[in-house]
Each structure stands twice: as C-alpha cells, then as structure tokens.
Amino acid sequence: MSTPHNEARPGDFAKTVLMPGDPLRAKTFAERYLENRTLVNNCRGIQGYTGFYKGKRVSIMASGMGMPSMGIYSYELFTVYDVDNIIRVGTAGALSGDIPLRSLVIAAGACTDSNFAAQYNLPGTFAPIASYELLKKAADTARELNLPHRIGNVLSSDVFYSGLMDEYPWKKWIKMGVLAVEMETAALYMTAAFCGKNALAMCTVSDSIATGERCTVKERQNTFDTMMEIALSMV
C-alpha cells in the first residue's frame, strides 16, 4: 500500500534505511554504494532506492528538510513499510569553535525549539535520544577508523533564517553542552520512540556558527563518503 508521500509497495524497503536530507544526495549515494539498486519511490521528488551493499540489503531515501518532513517519512517507513532502523546521514552547524569542520557529530540526544512533541500529549517534557545499539556501533566504528568525532546533544531547530539571528541564544545552548544545530533529529528520535523502532543521527559538520567557516563542495563530498561508509558498515 502506498501513501500520499510514498509510492513504494510493501517490501520495497530494506529493514534499514539511510536518510540524507537532500533527494539528489540520496540519488548520488545510491549510485555510488548500492548494487542492483531500484528506485522504489520518487513521489514529490523524494527519491528512495533499495539495493545491496556488500551483500546486505539496504535502502537510501531522502527525508527532506525540517522536522515535519522527517516526521512524515520516518513514521511511514516505520509503520507502513515495516522498517526497523533509520540512520540519518546529514549535515550540521557546529555551535562551538572547538568542533572542526568535516568532523562527525553522533547525536546521543536532540534538544529542540519545536513543538513536535505536543502531539503525544505527554504530562511532561520528553527527551529524544538515539537507540543505544546503533549509537554504540557508530561510535566504535569511528574510533576504530580514528576519525574525528564528537558524541552528545544536538539542537534540532525549526528556524534556519532567524529575524533575530544576532540575538539568537546560541551561547545558551553551548552552555548546556549542545554540540551542533540541525533540523531533523529530534523528530526522528521521537517518531522512533513512539513506533518502538530504532534511530540514529550522524551529521557531518559542514559549517561553524562560532567561526563562520564553511566546507567547500569538494570537502563536503569527501566527508560525506566517510559518514556513509560508517552508516553502511552498521547494516
């Protein structure tokens, strides 16, 4: 059965789906890494592929930008297509100057300025966290490969262009130990928790809010390869 956002059929997705935000990046990753790949979804231009990596079946599909989009696609993958694991492979902006460009941030948890959790009508504040087994695998692999990485909290923000950008309290998040800002992880972790499934977000630091530095296109591409190889090794 398809959905308003996904034209794939039951069984088209593997048990593990890797999710970059950008549909074209999903296409690039699929072409680079997956053998015998098939385009299983292109509804609304959100490309999803299923194929094989070193003999293991895996899917790669875009999430789009922001928590509403991630919430839709992750929920449908978990509930309609019986996916067990979603690994976000995206980008983030470092909040602190001691986190270098091209390093990897593995999100153990995700703070947010969003009201996404209100839908669950909980009598308190929910703390979105990663699935421990996926988190441990990613951390162990990064250490084995001697890759620069940090493990901790990220901020999933609903705001990209803020009218009060100069006054936005980045320093307050840094004070609380938050490593980087992005736009999807909190929704992924909450959806996984609600559905009883597994989720992890790994983000490449592509720019720094603290220093103003940005990766070049070539640097982004090379670093993404490293992130993808870690994610694929976990399948």
Which tens digits make up the pLDDT trace of 170-192?
788 999 999 999 999 999 999 99
Annotation: CATH topology of 16-233: Rossmann fold (3.40.50)
pLDDT at res. 165? 56
CA atoms of 34 and 64, how far apart (whole Å): 21
CA angle 45, 192, 152 (to 5 degrees): 100
pLDDT at res. 160? 79
For 46, 51, 77, 190, the CA distances from 3, given in Å and listed in that order, are: 13, 21, 10, 21
Residue type, 170: W
Q: How confident is the model at residue 163 (pLDDT cuts 50, 70, 90)?
A: low
pLDDT digits (tens, 9 = 90+) for 114-143: 999 999 999 999 999 999 999 999 999 999
pLDDT at res. 187? 98
To the question of pTM greater than 0.75 for the whole model, the response is yes
47 pLDDT higher than 90: yes
CA atoms of 189 and 221, how far apart (whole Å): 26
Task: Report percent pLDDT > 90 for the chain.
Answer: 72
Q: What residue segments make up the domains of the chain, in order of their start? A: 16-233
| Residue of 22, 98, 113, 207 with catalytic role | 207
User: How far, rounded to the nearest angstrom, does the alpha carbon of residue 35 sit from its chain's CA centroid?
Assistant: 23
Mean pLDDT of 69-75: 97
CA atoms of 20 and 5, how far apart (whole Å): 17
Q: Which parts of the chain are beta strand (E)?
A: 16-19, 35-41, 48-53, 56-61, 85-94, 104-112, 149-156, 180-182, 198-208
166 pLDDT higher than 60: no
pLDDT at res. 148? 86
pLDDT at res. 216? 80
167 pLDDT higher than 70: no
**140 labelled catalytic:** no
